[in-house]
Amino acid sequence: MKAEKTNLNDCWIIEPDVFEDERGYFYEGFNQAKFKKATGVDFEVKQINQSRSSKGVLRGLHFQKPPKSQAKLVSCLEGEVLDVAVDLRKESKTYGQITMVRLSASNKKQLYIPKGMAHGFLVLSENAKLMYQTDELYSKDHDTGIAFDDPELNISWGMSNEELILSEKDKNLPSLMESNLDF
């Protein structure tokens, strides 16, 4: 496993060791001991989620507020997405900054997003299936987000807003400045 720091504090791109031959491939999607050795992070999976979306679907930017904050390890099992994390931790040196990485079934990269960051993705392929491993259970009462098109974040999604497919919830999320964050 290779772990590469992103520009955001505590946020990592993970590249698993992939073993391929004429039959296909094999890799460990997560190994807690190897993950901790590579990143120094003690990540304990409590819930695994999957989503499937069509091209142009943008999900995000989502997070859970304390005390139910979630760290996530995101993988793309089918297709390709532009995956984005935003640092929401006011005491962090990278507060308000973003990182972007293309996750795909072919590159098998993963993005580790610590507690205190928002997460979102845009589907670039015809379809994409994502898997999220989280260290905290989902809590509807703590689930929230910030606007994908917040001008202060200035995220370049690579598609016009008219091309994006969003949920009503995601269309109406507040900006970072309007959010009441307590990280």
Per-residue model confidence as pLDDT tens digits over 90-125? 999 999 999 999 999 999 999 999 999 999 999 999
Q: What is the model's pTM?
A: 0.96
Cα distances (angstroms) measured from residue 162 to each of 35, 82, 102, 113, 149: 39, 17, 22, 28, 12
- Whether 142 is catalytic is no
SS3 155: coil
Set 95, 132, 138, 142: catalytic member: 132
Distance CA 181, CA 66 (A): 9
In the predicted structure, residue 167 carries a pLDDT above the cut 90: yes
Task: List, for residues 69-90, the tens digit of each pLDDT value.
Answer: 999 999 999 999 999 999 999 9
Give the confidence band of 181 by pLDDT, cuts at 50, 70, 90: confident
Backbone phi, psi, residue 106, to 5°: -80, -35
Set 25, 27, 62, 119: catalytic member: 62
Averaged pLDDT score across all residues of the chain: 97
Task: List, for residues 48-68, the tens digit of each pLDDT value.
Answer: 999 999 999 999 999 999 999
Homologous superfamily in CATH for domain 2-171 = Jelly Rolls (2.60.120.10)
- Whether 62 is catalytic is yes
Give the confidence band of 182 by pLDDT, cuts at 50, 70, 90: confident
